[in-house]
Amino acid sequence: MATGLIERAMGESRPLRNGVFVAIVGPSGSGKDTILSYARERVQHRPEFHFVRRVVTRAAAGDAEEHDTLDERAFAAALESGAFSLHWDAHGLRYALPKSVDHHVENGSVVVANVSRSLLRDLGSIYANVTVVHLSASPEVLARRLAMRGREDASDIEERLRRSAKAVAELDAAVMLDNSGPVEIAGNRFIAILEKAAAFAAICEQI
């Protein structure tokens, strides 16, 4: 199971509240990278949106996600130096978001990141304004996408689907977004969620 750990700068006494942190979560095969790419391409000229590039202890070659890679030793050193805003372990890998995320939120941006569900309970202690988007798809679609990815056998895929079904019950406050169909449907709905977050962030900056 993923373990979520959160790093905060020394001396911070309250959550960062000028912007909005949009956390996208969902099971493998739900299309998180696809939806993020779809939205990023369509709002790339909008400075109020910042899409986070994750740091992962996995080579980027052949991976659908564009991320920065560190080996275990470099990751540990970066963590020790306070280079990350959030970090977690999952499936034998280590993940992190750069510390610059805090700067973007503090300056009123809508920050969009693919994170682990294990972090959701603690995000409010860092960011006052958090929107959680849970991307899902039908079990048949998830199974087909996971099989096409070719990383896991049938039993592993079945276990992933069981874990995903159980996790949905823990996300009562999340915006549920189905991505079983064409990417344009879920993608445009996701952009609408981001637009709402941007409008809220604009109001926050005026307070």
Task: List the binding residues for ATP.
Answer: 26-33
Q: Which residues are annotated as a binding site?
A: 26-33
Do residues 19 and 201 touch, judged by C-beta distance below 8 A? Answer: yes
Do residues 109 and 95 touch, judged by C-beta distance below 8 A? Answer: no
Q: What would the two tokens of residue 166 be?
A: 């159980």
Write the CA distances from 175 to 57, 88, 89, 157, 194, integer angstroms. 29, 22, 24, 25, 12
Alpha carbon distance, N-terminus to C-terminus of the chain: 40
Write the CA distances from 203 to 62, 108, 124, 131, 149, integer angstroms. 41, 10, 19, 16, 42
Which candidate, 164, 116, 117, places its Cα nearest to that of 140?
Answer: 164
Strand partners of residue 93: 90
